[in-house]
Chain A
């Protein structure tokens, strides 16, 4: 038995999956991770992603990322046609490795933040966001 909400979510997900073209430059999470880390090992923890558990509208999902001690953070969306969302590089004038923005999510998926720490190591976090209406339009 599906509730109305689940049915809508499933329908939207299926429609998004059917209409999204796999572009020649579509980067997967693995490729985007390798490009950011240069193949170095990525630990877990030390990064906090704040995002809604359920996003009504995938066109604008508020996300904030905090990674104390990080010099760079990259944000990836595992279920989007292109995994890269944004990369933040903090300069000497940054008060904290803390950013907030609004992102597009095509369907329910994991979002992943990888932080490069001052010592050159990498650490990451991942959260799932359920999307009611996908944000890849079409």
Chain B
């Protein structure tokens, strides 16, 4: 398993009340549970099964992921920024691990 590393991309600036495009990517193999190893045994599923994003404590998106999401899941969506605040991103792994990332955003 490679290191799990979240990456977030936000616009440089926005006005209060704007809807901005948020781009997220996390390095993760997303082992689908469909593949077999060289012995013909199924490689057990290990994916990120849920992703959430909140801005200033308000839920933006709650996503359920299945094995058909590509490795290194890329997720892009729109968030409203009524005022400056923090984005909190959370990824939930099948193995129970939870990865989080926080990004501050300032509106003009």
Contacts and interface: CB of A to CB of B under 8 A. Distances in A.
A91 interface: yes
Interface of A: 19-21, 23, 59-61, 64, 77, 80-82, 84-96, 98-105, 135-138
Contacts of B75: 99-101
B19 interface: yes
Interface residues of B, number: 34
Given A92-B59, A93-B58, A94-B79, A137 B35 contact: yes
Contacts of A59: 70-71
B8 interface: no
B77 A102 contact: no
Describe B's contact surface by its main secondary structure.
strand
A133 B84 CA distance: 45
Contacts of A90: 60-61
Contacts of B58: 91-93
A59 B29 CA distance: 12
Contact of A102 (B19, B33, B61, B69): B69
Interface of B: 18-20, 32-36, 42, 54-56, 58-71, 73-80
Contacts of B18: 95
B70 A86 contact: no
B68 to A, nearest CB: 4
A104 B70 contact: yes
Given A82-B34, A94-B77, A95-B79, 15 more contacts: A60-B70, A82-B66, A84-B68, A86-B63, A86-B69, A88-B62, A91-B54, A91-B58, A95-B18, A95-B78, A96-B19, A99-B61, A102-B69, A103-B70, A105-B68
Nearest to B76: A100
Contact of B78 (A98, A103, A105): A98
